[in-house]
Amino acid sequence: MPGLGLSMGITLTMLSLVVLLPIGALLLKGATYGLPGIWETVNRERVWAALFLSFRLSLFAAVFNLVFGVLLAWVLVRYRFPGRRILDAAVDLPFALPTAVAGIALTALYAPNGAFGALAAGVGWKIAYTQYGIFLALVFVGLPFVTRTVQPVIEEIEREVEEASATLGATRLHTLRHVILPMLMPAALTGFALSLARAVGEYGSVIFIAGNIPLVTEIAPLLIVIQLEEFNYDAAAAIGIAMLLISFAMLLVINLIQVWSRRRIGYV
Amino acid sequence: MSDAVTLKFRSATEETPLARWVAIGIAVAGIAVLVFAPLLAVFAEALTRGVGAAIASLANRDAQSAIKLTLIIAAISVPLNAAFGIAAAWFITKFDFRGKAFLITLIDLPFSVSPVVAGLCIVLMFGTNSLVGGWLVASGYPIVFALPGIVLATMFVTFPFVARELIPVMIEQGRAEEEAALTLGASGWRTFRTVTLPNIRWALLYGVLLCNARAMGEFGAVAVVSGKIRGQTATMPITIEMLYNEYLSVAAFSLAALLTLLALVTLLLKTALELRHADQLAATHRA
């Protein structure tokens, strides 16, 4: 097959130039700064609070998306109802809509004078500029992941399995819980991990609705931006490396889930 | 006849009608609140002072330069990433070598890196304080706070889109057709143009579509490297942020509405591709 040199050259050159060298620059900066230096920067109340906030709310949002995403995938594959195609296409909107647009749109809706915000304010509930607002933005950006990973698996389920379960006397609920759900789990967990990874690093959709109060509603990516605006490159790099490590750890978990489920089910 | 029967007896592999409609209700309500409501909010906010005011705010000089800049960035970064995607897919699917899985992981890496961290990496690599950046600035080619930096940041975050779409499709199609063409005496380039390209064109278009949507809408990575100079390095999403923070709501949401229209067109084309060419796309087809 021809083109080995050309395709390998383009692939490796561009991968290095666009992705690997810049990430290398971050790691190099961290190396010259030293582990004690990184630890000193990260080990501050404000940084811990931001990392913990980002991770905790991302986890909540990913759990919500896991449950809602599986339900949505089931509804889209198994049921026929008017508007199904529109609903199916709408699931991808969070992927297509720029995050800054999503951010200001959600803020306009959930601010105290917004359509939903006013309703919530009526019962004394503040959503925008609190952690609820951040949760909402993270649910929005992570919405498609679980549905899109689970949908193809549901499509491939053989009806015979469900029929066998029914003839053996299982109720429908029993079949769903003990036959269908285990089959969906690996794909759902992959989607969950993807949604979590996306949420931890999310910036654009969150900063508008967050209020950005240090220790309360300040997310980790915003801290990096603040440090950069003050030309504090060492501190920015330290927080960046901490976040990069979290991302790598999650990437590892995603791969482990896929290996595990491939061994169990045969595909993901 | 059979209709009457199915009305009375539910199949053993279906949920009760009540359960079904509750599930559909939750799904529709969830998407309505989470997706459709923000969508409507963008247009409602843009049109609070009428269509005229919205259009006038788009004719503003800063808005015009932002639109132009975003188009330029997409016009540079999307073709480059498409070329990379084709080359990477060819390299990965047509040859056998060690470390292929690792290479694919590296290509996918930008998806799991926060956009802000991506921007930070580019600042550290090409900023005035860095070795390379300092030299480039001294020679009159600044990267950060200038167009090249924004292009690099955009390419970083959209890097995997095309490759990731092409690789599964090309694995599935195998190498037999290309091998046949080569045996018949076609050159490598001709084989690619007349055999491979027609086979992957819809998958390529699909990847380019998603890549473009993300390229035009990227905010986090660009916010870090752009320096936000009005009329010079402020892309559409950056200008939206600046206008919004200045409480120029109509102007901010008018630009946002323009990007939302782009997102809707992207979704429409994507859905059309999925309906018409499902068998040639990775996203809708499993090996």
In a domain, A12, yes or no: no
- Specify whether B61 is located in the same domain as B171: yes
Give the distance from residue B69's alpha carbon to the nearest chain A alpha carbon, in angstroms: 16
The answer to whether residues A16 and A25 touch, using CB atoms and an 8 Å cutoff, is no
In a domain, A20, yes or no: no
Token pair 């299982």 in the structure block, residue: A170
Region class of A66: left (phi > 0), else alpha (psi between -120 and 50), else beta: alpha
Q: Which two tokens stand for residue B31?
A: 């998407």
Domain limits for position A43: 34-265
Q: Is the dihedral of CA A76, A77, A78, A83 positive or negative?
A: positive
- Site from A6, A12, A18 to mutate, B interface, most B CB atoms within 10 angstroms: A18
The answer to whether residues B119 and B225 touch, using CB atoms and an 8 Å cutoff, is yes
> Which residue of B lies nearest to A242 if distances are taken between CA atoms?
B117
CB pairs under 8 A between A and B: 283
In a domain, A8, yes or no: no
- Specify whether B87 is located in the same domain as B222: yes
CATH number at residue A261: 1.10.3720.10
d(CA B249, CA A147): 34
Across the interface, whether the CB atoms of A163 and B13 are under 8 A apart is answered: yes
d(CA B101, CA B27): 37
Q: What is the pLDDT of residues A152-169, one digit of tens each?
A: 999 998 888 888 888 898
In a domain, A10, yes or no: no
Q: Which of A72-86, B98-112, B273-287 has the lowest mean pLDDT?
A: B273-287
- Specify whether B27 is located in the same domain as B69: no
The mean pLDDT of chain A is 91
d(CA B206, CA B191): 22
pLDDT of B234 > 90? The answer is yes
In a domain, B169, yes or no: yes
Give the distance from residue A40's alpha carbon to the nearest chain B alpha carbon, in angstroms: 19
- If one counts every other C-beta atom within 10 angstroms of the C-beta of residue A27, the result is 16
Angle at A249 between CA A54 and CA A8, to 5 degrees: 120
Is some CB atom of chain A closer than 8 A to the CB atom of B117? yes
- Specify whether B93 is located in the same domain as B42: no
**Looking at residue B285, what is its pLDDT?**
47
Q: Which two tokens stand for residue A87?
A: 């609903």
Give the distance from residue A44's alpha carbon to the nearest chain B alpha carbon, in angstroms: 19
Token pair 């959709």 in the structure block, residue: A205
Domain limits for position B35: 14-46
Query: Residue A259: CB partners within 8 Å, gap ≥ 6?
Result: none
In a domain, B39, yes or no: yes
Query: Residue B142: CB partners within 8 Å, gap ≥ 6?
Result: B128, B133, B136, B148, B149
d(CA B253, CA B26): 29
A167 versus B208: the higher-pLDDT residue is B208
In a domain, A105, yes or no: yes
Read off the pLDDT band of B283 (50, 70, 90). Answer: low
- Specify whether B19 is located in the same domain as B136: no
Q: What is the pLDDT of residues B249-278, one digit of tens each?
A: 999 999 999 999 999 999 999 999 988 988
**Looking at residue A106, what is its pLDDT?**
97
**Which of B41, B124, B219 is nearest residue A100 as measured by Cβ atoms?**
B219
**Looking at residue A267, what is its pLDDT?**
47
In a domain, A45, yes or no: yes
Closest CA to B167 of B75, B103, B216: B103
Phi, psi angles (nearest 5°) of residue A66: -60, -50
Is some CB atom of chain A closer than 8 A to the CB atom of B267? yes
Which residues of chain A are within 8 Å of residue B249 when distances are taken between CB atoms? 108
pLDDT of B1 > 50? The answer is no
**Looking at residue B7, what is its pLDDT?**
52
Across the interface, whether the CB atoms of B113 and A15 are under 8 A apart is answered: no
In a domain, B170, yes or no: yes
B positions 199-238 inside 8 Å of A (CB)? 210, 213, 216-220, 223-224, 236-238
Which residues of chain A are within 8 Å of residue B161 when distances are taken between CB atoms? none
pLDDT of A72 > 90? The answer is yes
Total domains in chain A come to: 1
Q: What is the pLDDT of residues A3-51, one digit of tens each?
A: 999 999 999 999 999 999 999 999 999 888 888 888 988 899 999 999 9
- Specify whether B28 is located in the same domain as B114: no
- Specify whether B34 is located in the same domain as B120: no
- Specify whether B89 is located in the same domain as B211: yes
d(CA B239, CA B243): 6
- Specify whether B120 is located in the same domain as B20: no
CA distances A29 to B122, B123, B131, B153, Å, are 12, 11, 12, 18
- Specify whether B33 is located in the same domain as B59: no
CATH number at residue B244: 1.10.3720.10
> Which residue of B lies nearest to A147 if distances are taken between CA atoms?
B27
Across the interface, whether the CB atoms of B34 and A139 are under 8 A apart is answered: yes
pLDDT of A102 > 60? The answer is yes
**Looking at residue B10, what is its pLDDT?**
67
In a domain, B116, yes or no: yes
Phi, psi angles (nearest 5°) of residue A206: -90, -40
Closest CA to B256 of B247, B243, B271: B243
d(CA A52, CA A44): 12
In a domain, A4, yes or no: no
Q: What is the pLDDT of residues B147-175, one digit of tens each?
A: 999 999 999 999 999 999 999 999 999 99
pLDDT of A82 > 50? The answer is yes
The answer to whether residues B219 and A99 touch, using CB atoms and an 8 Å cutoff, is yes
- If one counts every other C-beta atom within 10 angstroms of the C-beta of residue A51, the result is 19
Closest CA to B68 of B253, B279, B267, B231: B231
pLDDT of B4 > 60? The answer is no
Q: Which two tokens stand for residue B54?
A: 């919205």
Q: What is the pLDDT of residues B94-123, one digit of tens each?
A: 999 999 999 998 999 998 899 999 999 999
Across the interface, whether the CB atoms of A203 and B286 are under 8 A apart is answered: no
The answer to whether residues B114 and A241 touch, using CB atoms and an 8 Å cutoff, is no
The answer to whether residues A69 and A191 touch, using CB atoms and an 8 Å cutoff, is yes
- Chain centroid to CA A243: how far? 14
- Chain centroid to CA A195: how far? 2
Is some CB atom of chain A closer than 8 A to the CB atom of B75? no
Is some CB atom of chain A closer than 8 A to the CB atom of B177? no
- Specify whether B25 is located in the same domain as B98: no
The answer to whether residues B76 and B242 touch, using CB atoms and an 8 Å cutoff, is no
Across the interface, whether the CB atoms of A143 and B113 are under 8 A apart is answered: no
Phi, psi angles (nearest 5°) of residue A231: 55, 30
**Looking at residue B257, what is its pLDDT?**
97
**Looking at residue B133, what is its pLDDT?**
86
B287 versus B121: the higher-pLDDT residue is B121
Is some CB atom of chain A closer than 8 A to the CB atom of B120? yes
- Using CA atoms of A75, A81, A82, A84 in order, give the dihedral in degrees to the nearest 10: 20
- Chain centroid to CA B286: how far? 22
- Site from B34, B178, B200 to mutate, A interface, most A CB atoms within 10 angstroms: B34
> Which residue of A lies nearest to B270 if distances are taken between CA atoms?
A89
In a domain, A9, yes or no: no
Is some CB atom of chain A closer than 8 A to the CB atom of B250? no
- Specify whether B122 is located in the same domain as B246: yes
Total domains in chain B come to: 2
Provide ipTM, 2 decimals: 0.91
